[in-house]
Chain A
Amino acid sequence: MMNGKKQPLYLLLLVCFLLLVITPALRAQDWVHTGTNLGVQHIRVAVASFKPLNNNAQTLPLKSIFDQTLFNDLKNAGIFDMVSPSMIPPEMPGSPSEIHLNLWSAAPANAAMVVFGNIAANNGQITVQGFLFDAKNPTTPQILGKQYSDLANDEATRMIAHRFADEIISRLGGGINGICETHIYFVSNRTGHKEIWVMDYDGQDAHQITHLGDVALSPRVSPDNTRIAFSALGRDGWAIRMYSLTLHRLVYFRAPVGNSFSPAWTSDGTKLAFSASGPSGNNEIYTIGANGGDLHRITAFRGPDVSPVWNPKTNSQIAWVSGRTGLPQIYIMNSDGSGIQRMTDGGYAVSPSWSPSGQFLAFAWNRHYGPGVLGGQDIYVMDIASKRWIEVTHGAGNNDFPSWSPDTRHIVFQRDNQIWTMLSDGTDQQQLTHIGQNIMPNWSWK
C-alpha cells in the first residue's frame, strides 16, 4: 500500500490526467443529445375516451375535439409517459363507479394514473366532468374531480380540455403550472403584410391582431397579458407601438428615440428594454418605463446593439446581441449597463431568450457563419453560470427566435418561416403553423 505522503501527489496526477482528457472532449463536442429529466421515470398516464351522456347532435363532435385536445395537452406536457390508445382497456367509464382500476393498472396499459369522465352538450351548453385516479391506490384513488361548463362550441370545448389538463399537470408535475392555456404571439404575412397574430400554445385558433398594412415585427406580450409591445415601420422608420388586448386597439406609447425596435418587458411589467438609434447613428440598448417615461441609454459602443431580454427572475440583468467585435454575439450586463460579459465565442449568435427560472439562455447560433459558408443556424441552450451550452436543434433548416414557455419545459421557435415547438431538450419537435409565413414567436407569460 502507498504511504500517506505519496497519496496527494497521486491524486493530483489523476486530476491533471482527467482534466487533460475531459477538457478537449468538452471543447470538441459537436452534437451531443442531452436534456433535463432524462434519467427520470415519467409518470405513465392513460386517458380514457370520455363518455357521451346524451344523443345531442353537438355532443359527439365536441367529445371528439375534447378527447383529442386533452390527450395532446398531456402528451405535450413532456412529463408523462402516455399509454398508447391501442393499449387502453375496452371500457368507457363515465364516473368513478363505472371504472375498473385493476384493468388499467394491469398490462398492457400499466397505467399509474387514469384520466376519465363524461361530456354532454345540452341547450347550447357543454358540460364536462373529469377525474384523475391513482391506479396503484385502489382504496382512495381519486386525486382530482372537476366539472366545467361553457358554451357548446369548438373553442370553449378546447379551452375546457386545456384547463383540465393544466390541473392534472400542476398536480402531477411538482406544482409547476401547465402551459395549455398560454398563447403564442407571432408575425404572419397571411394578409400580404406582416401583422401581429396570436394562437393557442398548440397552434389552434390563430387570429390576426394588428391591421397596420405595412410591416409589424417583434411582438412581446406584457406579463399580465393586457398589452403587446411590438415594432412597426412608419414614415420615420421603426417605432415601438403598443396594442391593448383589453381595448382591442393601439394605445399611446412613445419612446423618444429614432429607429426603435425589439422591445422586451421586465417580468413585473413596469419597464421595457429595446434597441434604438443612439447619438452616433448606432443602435444602442435603452430602457424605458412602461408608461413611456424614464428613458435611459445603457450601451455606448460602436456597432449594432439589439434584441435585449431581461433576466425574468431578477429584472436586474439584460442579455442582448452586439456586433461590437464584428459578427453578432450574445452578451449579458447589469440593467444599468455595467458588468458586461460576452457569452458566445464566435460565429453568428442572435435572438436570446432568458428562461423563466433565470438559469438558461436560449438563442440562435450559427457557429461557422461566414461568406460562402453553408450551414444552418440552430437553437442552443446555455447555462449562464457555467457558459456551457447544448445544441437543441440539429440539421434541420434555419432556426431563429427561440422563446421559453412559462414552465421552462418548452421552447417555441422559428424554422424556415414557420413556427415550431419542442421540449427544451430539443425532443418532440412539432410544426404549429402551415399557412403563409409565420415568424418571430413569443410565448405568453401565463
Chain B
Amino acid sequence: MLSEFRNPISFARRSTANRRTVALIAGLVATLALAGCHKKVKAAPPPPPPAPSAPAPTASITATPDTITVGQSTVLSWHTTDATSASIEGLGPVPTSGTRTVSPTESTDFNLTATGDGGTANATAHVTVNTAPAAPMAESNLTEQQFEENVKPVFFDFDSYSIRPDAQSVVAQDASFLNQHPNVNVVIGGYCDDRGSIEYNLALGENRANAAKQALVNAGVSPNRLRTVSYGKEKQFCTEENESCWQQNRRAQFTMDQ
C-alpha cells in the first residue's frame, strides 16, 4: 500500500531530475555560444581611418522615438566622418559612431560635437518629453481588489510543491498582469493544509512560495519584485476538515508588497 503510493512519486522525481539535467546542459551550451559570439565582435576592431589630408568632419544624430513620456527611454544614434573624437553634451565623450539609450525627464537637446584634424562639426537631436503618464492604468490606482482579481493563487497537490499542469495558465496570466504593472512589488505567501506538522509545513510553504516565484521569473517577472513568506498552516483560508477545504489551503497567494 505504502510502496505503491510512494513509487510513482520517486519515479516522477527522477524524470524531473533528468529534464533538469537536460535543461542545464542546454543552458550551458547556450551560454558558451553567446560567449563565443561576444568574443568575435570584440576581436574585429574598426580599421583605423586613413587621413593623409585633413577634410572637414561631418556629424549627424537622431533620437528614436523623438517624443516620449516620463519614465520611458529613447535611443540616440549618431554617425560622424573624418572625426578623431566625439562628445555629446550631457553624456560626455562618446565613440565617433554609436548608439545610447537615454531616459531624459524633461525635453532635451542632445548636441553632438565631432572633432577632427579638419575642424569640428555639430548636430542636434531634440527629444520631447511629455509629463502626462501614458500607461493605461497608473500604479497608484491599482487597488488590492484589482490586484487580487487579476493575480490568482496557485494551488498545489498534497505534500507537493510542484506547479501542476492546470496551474500553468494561471501562472502565465499572473505573470502577464505583473509584466504590465512593472512597478508593483509582490509578496508570495506559501500555505499548507492543517494536517501536517507545524515545522515541516513551514518548510513546505516556503517551497510552494518559491515554486510560484520561480514560475513567475521564468515568465519574465523580475525576481527583485518578488518576496516569499511561508505561512505554513498558521493562516488558513478555510477551516473545515475535508478535501475541498484542504485544497483551498494548499496554495501560493499573491499580494501587493506595500
Contact = CB atoms under 8 A, between A and B. Distances in A.
B197 A281 contact: no
10 contacts: A259-B206, A275-B199, A281-B228, A283-B206, A303-B207, A323-B204, A346-B6, A351-B199, A372-B243, A400-B197
A262 B201 CA distance: 12
A328 B160 CA distance: 12
A63 to B, nearest CB: 42
Given A259-B206, A277-B228, 6 more contacts: A233-B229, A281-B206, A303-B207, A307-B200, A321-B200, A325-B10
A383 B202 CA distance: 28
B69 interface: no
Contact of A261 (B202, B211, B227): B202
Contacts of B199: 217-218, 261-262, 275, 306-307, 321, 350-351
B2 A304 contact: no
Nearest to A325: B10
Main secondary structure of the interface of B (DSSP, over half): helix
Given A323-B200, A351-B199, A400-B197, A277 B227 contact: no
Given A326-B6, A350-B197, A368-B1, A236 B202 contact: no
A393 to B, nearest CB: 15
Contacts of B234: 194, 215, 217, 233
A235 to B, nearest CB: 8
Contacts of A233: 229, 231, 234
B2 A368 contact: yes
Nearest 8 A/B pairs, CB to CB: A281-B210, A304-B203, A283-B203, A350-B197, A237-B229, A306-B203, A262-B199, A307-B199
A99 interface: no
A304 B198 contact: no
A215 B200 CA distance: 16
Given A275-B199, A350-B200, A327 B159 contact: yes
A347 interface: yes
B213 interface: yes
Interface of B: 1-3, 5-6, 9-10, 13, 158-159, 196-200, 202-204, 206-207, 210-211, 213-214, 227-231, 234, 243
A217 B206 contact: no
A113 to B, nearest CB: 42
Given A237-B228, A347-B2, A368-B2, A328 B207 contact: no
Nearest to A347: B2
A138 interface: no
Contact of B5 (A259, A281, A307, A370): A370
B200 A346 contact: no
A283 B10 contact: no
A237 B234 CA distance: 12
Given A281-B214, A326-B159, A371-B158, A364 B197 contact: yes
A120 to B, nearest CB: 48
A281 to B, nearest CB: 3
Main secondary structure of the interface of A (DSSP, over half): strand
Nearest to B20: A302
Contacts of B9: 326
B200 A217 contact: no
A368 B6 CA distance: 12
A197 B144 CA distance: 36
B30 to A, nearest CB: 21
A346 B197 CA distance: 16
A325 to B, nearest CB: 7
A346 B7 CA distance: 12
B16 to A, nearest CB: 9
B230 A238 contact: yes
Interface string A4-42: 000000000000000000000000000000000000000
A231 B214 CA distance: 26
A281 B223 CA distance: 13
Contacts of B196: 328, 348, 350
A153 interface: no
Contacts of A238: 202, 230
A306 B207 CA distance: 12
B214 to A, nearest CB: 7
B54 to A, nearest CB: 60
Nearest to A364: B197
A283 B200 CA distance: 10
Contacts of A277: 206, 210, 228
A212 to B, nearest CB: 13
B11 to A, nearest CB: 11
A281 B10 contact: no
Interface in A299-333: 303-307, 321, 323, 325-328
A407 B244 CA distance: 45
A400 B201 CA distance: 13
Contacts of A401: 197
Contacts of B202: 217, 231, 238, 259, 261-262, 275, 283, 306
A352 B117 CA distance: 82
Contacts of B211: 281
A79 to B, nearest CB: 32
A258 B1 CA distance: 38
A439 interface: yes
A440 interface: yes
Contacts of A217: 198-199, 202, 234
Nearest to A327: B159
Contacts of A283: 202-203, 206-207
Interface in A333-386: 346-348, 350-351, 364, 368, 370-372, 377
A2 B203 CA distance: 65
B189 to A, nearest CB: 9
A281 B159 CA distance: 17
A327 B234 CA distance: 20
A312 B213 CA distance: 38
A304 B198 CA distance: 13
Residue in B1, B13, B196 with the greatest tally of chain A CB atoms within 10 Å:
B196
Given A346-B2, A368-B1, A323 B203 contact: yes
